[in-house]
Amino acid sequence: MKPIVVFSAAQNEMTAYQQALLIKLNKLAGEVKGDTGITGLKLDFNFGLRLEVPDGDFFIRIRDGESGQEYFAGKLAAQCLISMEKYYIPWQVEVMKDGELVFVHQLDVTGQLVYMHLGNALGDMLAIMPYVLAFQKRYNCRIVCQWQENFSSLLGKCFPQLTMVKDFPVDCYAAFVLGIFQDTPILSPVDARLIPLPQMGSIILHMPIIPPKLRLVDRNAVTADKFPYVCIATQATGIKKCWHYPHGWEILTAKLQESGYRVLCIDGNQELREGRYVAGIPQGAEDFTGYRPLIERLELLAGAACFIGVSSGLSWLAYAAGTPVVLISGFTLPSNEFFTPYRVINYQVCHGCHNDLRVSDKNSLCPYHQGTERELECSREITVEQVWKQVQRCLQE
């Protein structure tokens, strides 16, 4: 590939991390593939706009095909022009040679092969997937997704119209990275903490629509279990996402069992430890933990009377199963996840630091009160009474 010239539609400066990410994605996409009909001039949209320019007197202009805003204008020769931004922008490319307009092209994925580079977070993928399906329907394009072992059985059964591949396709017209990103602007124009997760797909794929709710299974077609059960998940990707009211899960489990429900704990691990905090299988709950196939988890959730969990991928999977979800979280704001009428949060204590842009230390256990008596009060001060009232209402409705 020719020497690279990077431009930014939003005129952003690139950090070392973003530069390394750009190099990684460009290497994954390989050589610029699209033939323009002009010798040596190649164009594709694999992880951003990529225009390879041969030697000669070439002037390149890049605009927004909808607004007309100019992003780049200048002379190039024997170089490869690459955009910093990797999400969907309606790029329009104009090429002049020796002062004459010789090539014009606007991004159009209609009928084309499009590659979706998946993240490995279950909740993120389930939040974005409705927009992927809407994108495919709108443009009648052929979509292939990066192979992910965790999602292969789930996508294979629930999304047969999407193909999973292990190698980047050689004839790809456009490629996008799917995920919930806080590092702007290379993968997303906005910090995901500002936007509800169910809307991020709209921004990344430039789909200003309201897609249908993601439903991966028909609950009405699930055979009712002889003994009604509730699924719970006490863990998440970080201990700060968990519910830390003292013995809260044990008390809740006992209340459910007294009401005639089996309680199945379906976390991936039996236990999550971080410092002095522990999240694990509550005493009395049945051990259904383990990294079982997601399609198996989906079917189990579809038969549950409800699901009780925290801000995690399993909560999203329960939502996709159509199962009523009681979601306990003070770490995130309710707008962060999908809407559930059974959301539990205590607004009278410190809460929502995940969605607070003033928080810069992502690795901090409790950015405002770490090491004090108020540490993780966002979840410790959500009482069993609060949760139980929502569970009762959920089961009754």
Of 122, 100, 140, 50, residue with least CA distance to 317: 122
> What whole-number distance in Å separates Cα of residue 373 and Cα of residue 293?
40
Contact 340, 324 (CB under 8 A): yes
Residue 344 pairs in a beta bridge with 328
The number of C-alpha atoms within 13 Å of 332 and in the hemisphere containing its C-beta is 24
Instruction: Measure the CA–CA gap between 232 and 246, rounded to whole angstroms.
Output: 17
Catalytic residues: 124
Sign of CA dihedral 45, 175, 312, 268: negative
Rounded Cα gap, residues 95 and 78, in angstroms: 14
* Antiparallel, parallel or unpaired: β 325-328 and 307-309: parallel
CA distance 355 to 267: 25
